[in-house]
Amino acid sequence: MSGEALRPRPPTTRPLWSVAGERVIETVIRVSGVSAVVFVAAIFFFIFREAAPVLWHKDFHILEFLFSSEWYPTSATNVRYGTLALTVGTLSVTALAIALAVPFGLGGAVFVSEFCSRRLRETLKIVIELLAAIPSVVWGFVGLTVMSKVIVALTGAPVGVNLLNGGVILALMSVPIIVSIGEDALKAVPDSYREAALALGATRWQTVYRVLLPAARNGLLAAVLLGVGRAVGETMAVLMATGHAVHIPDGLLQSVRTLTANVAAELGEAPAGSSHYRVLFLTGVLLFWITLAVNVAADLAVRGVRKK
């Protein structure tokens, strides 16, 4: 080695264009970073902007909108915009779906995370991912064709597209979400908990029941909430599978209509700018806040896990 290599080199400065280019790129990255916030705000802004004028319209009363079950948006003489029947439709379909999906979803999550072999687990996770990827319109089609025939054959109901059909289809759609998030929650419980339980002589089932489920409680709650969010917001599947009657159901085999399906069914016929059109946007605002609340609740539940 010559002595020259040991002498410190003069500090090289990067060319100006390189520094400037980096600045530009970093600005673009920062702007993209906050874009999600901007989009969520824009969604609310643009929906509310279309909906707002109806709030002062003479045919519209906010209490009637929320608490009346009379929905006659196209009536010439007696226009009524009451969404209670639609809200009850959404609630009943969601409740049925969650009642079916939670045991299967959490049971599946426990099995995938705790009971099965590595190879089986990888296979099941792939199947769950594929199940979650099935488009909602295909689920709706399945409800319309397959499930409705099954329901008519089993129950003797006159029509197969009803509350039960929608609930089963939504349950099938929510299960993959509950399983994958629930499995994450169980995986997040430290292995030392399992080892401690096994060292005390607990069987794997006792470990699950007494140690893992309580420890992963918040994450499992988040999984259920995200399943609820999916069920509330689902549009095409319930549009095709629940029938179209706007009334408060008093049995599993009755047709219902949900808030989402109602917008999808009527938006095409409502002239832009009419009160009907604006009320549908107002329904959108309502749905926006409902799903926002559910998602924030799920996020808080998960955050509770991390804190611990």
Partner 1 sequence: MSATPSPSPARRFGATPDVLRRERAQRIAKWVFGAMAGAMVLPLVAIVAYLLVKAWPSLGWEFIADVPRKGMREGGIWPAFVGTLYLVGISLAAAAPIGVLAAIYLNEYARDNWLNRLINLAVINLAGVPSIVHALFGLGAFVYAARFGFSILSASLTLAIMTLPVIIASTREALASVPRSFREACWNVGATRWQTIRAVVLPNSISGILTGVILQVSRAAGETAPIMFTGAVFFKAVQRGDFFPYRLGDQCMALSMHLYTVSTQVPNVRESIPYATAVVLLGSVLLVNATAIALRVWLRGRKKW
Interaction residues for partner 1, span 187-206 (CB under 8 A): 203-206
Of positions 20, 30, 53, 154, contacts partner 1 by CB under 8 A: 30
Min dist. Cβ of residue 158 to partner 1 (A): 19
Of the pair 62, 138, the CB lying nearest partner 1 is at 138
> By CB under 8 A, what part of segment 139-168 binds partner 1?
140-142, 144-146
Min dist. Cβ of residue 21 to partner 1 (A): 9
Residue among 162, 171, 170 at smallest CA distance from 144: 162
Residue 291 burial by Cβ neighbours in a 10 Å radius (0-12, 13-18, 19+): middle
Which residues, other chains included, contact 95 with Cβ-Cβ below 8 Å and sequence gap of 6+?
none
d(CA 183, CA 193): 16
Place of tokens 């003069």: 10
d(CA 174, CA 256): 19
Residue among 178, 256, 259 at smallest CA distance from 220: 178
Let me know: does 206 contact 264? Beta carbons within 8 Å.
Answer: no
Of positions 85, 179, 215, 220, contacts partner 1 by CB under 8 A: 179
Amino acid 299 reads D
d(CA 44, CA 291): 12
Does 117 help bind partner 1 (rule: CB under 8 A)? yes
d(CA 43, CA 61): 24
Does 103 help bind partner 1 (rule: CB under 8 A)? yes
User: 68 is written with which tokens?
Assistant: 């009346």
Of positions 43, 95, 99, 200, contacts partner 1 by CB under 8 A: 43
> By CB under 8 A, what part of segment 211-230 binds partner 1?
226, 229-230
Does 49 help bind partner 1 (rule: CB under 8 A)? yes
Min dist. Cβ of residue 249 to partner 1 (A): 21
> Applying CB under 8 A, which part among 76-84, 91-99, 124-132, 247-255 lies near partner 1?
124-132
> Applying CB under 8 A, which part among 76-84, 104-112, 151-159, 245-253 lies near partner 1?
104-112
Here's the x/- map for partner 1, 235-254, by CB under 8 A: it reads as: xx---x--------------
Of the pair 19, 95, the CB lying nearest partner 1 is at 19
Does 50 help bind partner 1 (rule: CB under 8 A)? yes
Min dist. Cβ of residue 250 to partner 1 (A): 26
Of the pair 167, 233, the CB lying nearest partner 1 is at 233
Which residues, other chains included, contact 246 with Cβ-Cβ below 8 Å and sequence gap of 6+?
71, 85, 86, 89, 257, 262
Amino acid 41 reads A
Min dist. Cβ of residue 23 to partner 1 (A): 9
Of the pair 75, 206, the CB lying nearest partner 1 is at 206
Of the pair 51, 88, the CB lying nearest partner 1 is at 51
Residue among 243, 255, 286, 232 at smallest CA distance from 81: 286
Sign of the CA dihedral running 260, 264, 266, 272: positive
Does 108 help bind partner 1 (rule: CB under 8 A)? yes
Of the pair 175, 253, the CB lying nearest partner 1 is at 175
